[in-house]
Amino acid sequence: MEIAAEKKNFAVIEEELQAAVKALCDDNQVWEFFLSPKISKDQKIKVMESSLKSTFSETVNSLLFLLLKKDRIFFIKEIALQYRIGNDKLNGRIRAYVESATKLTDSQVGDIQSTLAQRYKGECIIENIIKPELIGGLVIRFNDKVIDGSMRSQLLTNKKNLLQSKLGGAYYEN
């Protein structure tokens, strides 16, 4: 973050880190190549230089090569995530992960964005995660907060309440 602060390019670095994660981690063969202890550091560095060096800025390239040289490339996902979190905080943004059974419409995303932005006084970015097992409703995660309004959660709560009902002085559980 300090290097990005000196150069005043937080957004560019964030985008490049996300692109680096995508380039390295999305293809299992590529990811396994960089994680493999059977492949020498020199070979990994040569591959990185020939395929990715011209893609990223000096700052991101330095980080990638440092991680490779120190056998820490597996941290790139977490580094990119933590950088994004820090950049969001710096810019007063809230990044909410909204889980739903189906894809949200633009209108629904807009409603959630405006509600969160108004309530927590900051720009809000929504990332929709589709989880069919929720049945219906939403689970919203941001910062350290979770708002669970899913049907799955409500059904589990109802089940728990029914199981805890006293039947003849004892709890019934099946």
For residue 40, what pLDDT is reported? 94
- Looking at the structure, tell me whether residues 77 and 97 fall in a common domain: no
- Looking at the structure, tell me whether residues 71 and 9 fall in a common domain: yes
**CA–CA dist 24, 76 (Å, integer):** 9
Residue 78 lies in a domain: yes
Residue 172 lies in a domain: no
Q: What tens digit of pLDDT does each residue of 43-84 get?
A: 999 999 998 878 899 999 999 999 999 999 999 999 999 999
What mean pLDDT comes out for the span 23-35?
94
Q: In the chain, how many domains are there?
A: 2
Three-class DSSP category at 66: helix
Residue 103 lies in a domain: yes
Q: What tens digit of pLDDT does each residue of 107-119 get?
A: 999 999 999 999 9
Concatenated DSSP letters for 6-48?
Answer: HHT-HHHHHHHHHHHHHHHHSSHHHHHHHH-TTS-HHHHHHHH
**CA–CA dist 133, 125 (Å, integer):** 24
- Looking at the structure, tell me whether residues 53 and 107 fall in a common domain: no
- Looking at the structure, tell me whether residues 135 and 150 fall in a common domain: yes
Instruction: Give the CATH number, domain containing residue 8.
Output: 1.10.520
Determine which helix (DSSP H) or strand (DSSP E) holds 125, and give its type and residue range: strand 123-130
**CA–CA dist 127, 118 (Å, integer):** 18
Percentage of the chain lying above the pLDDT 90 cut = 64
Domain of 78?
A: 2-85
Residue 100 lies in a domain: yes
Strand partners, 64: none
- When the pLDDT of each residue in the chain is averaged and rounded to a whole number, the result is 88
- Looking at the structure, tell me whether residues 52 and 78 fall in a common domain: yes
Percentage of the chain lying above the pLDDT 70 cut = 90
- Residue 6, pLDDT > 70, answer no
